[in-house]
Structure 1
């Protein structure tokens, strides 16, 4: 007998934390469960949130810096958020609370552990994040996206579950499509992005690097590049000077379609980027963000690069000449690029959302108690029963 349960997801207000949370919410709702989201104001407004998913904004203090006053303020906000989360749990009665990292997840997870509600954390990166490190010893299960995760204590090994990093449905739908035909005289379609705001180093290096390719390969280029608004005119001029056709934009709504058409990706190594590249099977040249916390983007690129599906270049070594050298090596022969695409595909976890949902569903009361609890209410504790302000 299928039992409808209630789950709370808690995530920081960035796409890296929220995309997998949205994917899990969608999967749990498909299974007949009720789901609520706890985040910050930025997360409540981020595009892509399922329309049926209520988002609750809680205070989330940050414990950073050396100023004692900032720590006092941060602790006060965390405690306030914890109290608000406990009130939510009283009305929503979650079977489990799932955290996706980021400071906005901390009050909810602290509230859940104090209320003895089962807890799961999901780590999207190949380095355990600060909030997840703090919570690792307190939670019931740790879900990971990589086989090797740095800063994860061996003492927690028994509760670690490798599930992968969930991606958007429109991206996952591309997994069974073949790698676009790439021939010795056909177009080489290159997709360049630097995250939600673009990356200046890509705007500065990529056009010049592509111009350094051997003429036969350079003549076959078709480039799509996402740029920062303040960089786009200069990038357009660079491509025009080199005579390379390029479509530029600050944001592409049809990114999944563009990824499907691409032969080669150039960009950062964020968790969602790696998950999508490996879900679809696209070779890449990755430039990890050097200021990423704990250098986690370099760690994210590690598995894909070791498989042969990507080349990882440190930003200080990311020059036009080095980029041209790596592209030439990957695309000089059609079979080389196709082999890299297959290697990237093999690193993917297409069942990540269902794997994570299976893990989460493993926590909660007995089915009989759930039936009694739900049947005893006039209606399920859903959006109408929540005490906190809802941001639809």
Structure 2
């Protein structure tokens, strides 16, 4: 039996960082371990996550804005690192795990300074900026894709592919069949822009659905997440088209909505991809063009190559193009069911278990890699960064 350990998880900013950290926290607590969270104000505001978990807020310096912005960021990082060291001094964790986002940087830097084993988890198919800064000194790098860009080959011996953990409610969908879709039955479409919403979906999707053949359009039932400033216009457009639509700025029951959806139209964030492949749902994905290192365009490649999703660059995401792609999926016999099966084939259902195993080994002194080797954790501490 594994001894009880205490872990600090550091994540911030968006749901893409917070959701996998939340899933790991739940798994570790189910195993009898103690968990604390370090995040920022934005991360703490995301509803439904880390309930009952000890939470600490750190100032997070964003590395942008030129020399003045960098100086301000470094001051915030130093302040956050000092706060994290105070936290560790009161209750020394057995390991610290960073999930990206700027609050993870001072938290993991403080772990280096205190000689506490540290690891990072990368959700995207491109190693994120914070994780790139930490990769040299962490003991383990957990990845969600077999091929991660901007991850130097010299770190291969401490990389383990685990996948991207999802919430338990989404993981449970893996055992559920694809919803029955009769030739004249209701065709349920879920539209979501992730934790930040997406105005382009509000602008394009209603008009695109309105261009579908009448027989298909009359079968539609839409659930769509909208930004607050877009929701009234979107509601009016669907009413004009006569398409039943349930609109909200936040979908607290997203796993339930995902369960009965036949097609998802969404951004290509890491958590969205993980949920689609866990539940086995076909998708039309619109990568965010301004994403750092264009990582969303890279995230979609595995699903697209498998035939599980279609990717449309935002510059080409027009009502006409959306209607064309939807008809190919909706009107070709078996196309949606085949895409759903292929989506499930891209999933990594043991992600949270494998990540929890990895961090337990980290806290225990050794860590398993994909090559079935071990790395001595006593080498993870060092001079300040």
Same fold? TM cut 0.5: yes
Structure 1 stretch displaced more, 259-268 or 40-49: 40-49
Counterpart in the other structure of 1:318: 317
- The separation in 1 between residues aligned to 2:138 and 2:287, in whole angstroms, is 30
Counterpart in the other structure of 2:199: 200
- The separation in 2 between residues aligned to 1:49 and 1:236, in whole angstroms, is 29
- 1:242 correspondence with 2:241: yes
User: Following TM superposition, by how much is the alpha carbon of 1:32 offset from its aligned partner in structure 2, in angstroms?
Assistant: 1.0
1:213-292 correspondence runs (5 A): 213-292=212-291
Computed over aligned residues only, the root mean square deviation of the Cα atoms, in angstroms, reads 1.5
Unpaired segments of 5 or more residues in structure 2?
367-385
Q: Indicate if the aligned counterparts of 1:12 and 1:39 stay in contact, CA closer than 8 A.
A: yes
Deviant stretches of 4+, over 3 Å: none
- The separation in 1 between residues aligned to 2:365 and 2:143, in whole angstroms, is 26
Spell out, residue by residue over 1:85-132, the C-alpha distance to the aligned partner (whole angstroms, 9 max, x if none): 122222222111100001111111111112221111001111111000
Length, aligned pairs only: 366
Distance 1:177 1:324, change over 3 A: same
1:50-199 correspondence runs (5 A): 50-66=50-66, 68-199=67-198
- The separation in 2 between residues aligned to 1:229 and 1:39, in whole angstroms, is 25
Normalising by structure 1, we get a TM-score of: 0.90
- The separation in 2 between residues aligned to 1:88 and 1:341, in whole angstroms, is 45
User: Following TM superposition, by how much is the alpha carbon of 1:31 offset from its aligned partner in structure 2, in angstroms?
Assistant: 0.9
Normalising by structure 2, we get a TM-score of: 0.92
User: Following TM superposition, by how much is the alpha carbon of 1:366 offset from its aligned partner in structure 2, in angstroms?
Assistant: 6.4
- The separation in 2 between residues aligned to 1:320 and 1:152, in whole angstroms, is 37
Spell out, residue by residue over 1:242-289, the C-alpha distance to the aligned partner (whole angstroms, 9 max, x if none): 222222222222111111010000011111111111110000000011
Structure 1 stretch displaced more, 45-54 or 274-283: 45-54
Structure 1 stretch displaced more, 240-249 or 14-23: 240-249
Q: Indicate if the aligned counterparts of 1:221 and 1:245 stay in contact, CA closer than 8 A.
A: yes
- The separation in 1 between residues aligned to 2:76 and 2:232, in whole angstroms, is 42
- The separation in 2 between residues aligned to 1:69 and 1:158, in whole angstroms, is 37
- The separation in 2 between residues aligned to 1:95 and 1:233, in whole angstroms, is 49
SS in 1 for 2:81: helix
Spell out, residue by residue over 1:328-371, the C-alpha distance to the aligned partner (whole angstroms, 9 max, x if none): 1111134111000001111111111111000000023569xxxx
SS in 1 for 2:259: helix
Counterpart in the other structure of 1:338: 337
Counterpart in the other structure of 1:304: 303
Structure 1 stretch displaced more, 42-51 or 187-196: 42-51
Larger radius of gyration: 1
Unpaired segments of 5 or more residues in structure 1?
368-392
Spell out, residue by residue over 1:310-333, the C-alpha distance to the aligned partner (whole angstroms, 9 max, x if none): 000000000111111111111113
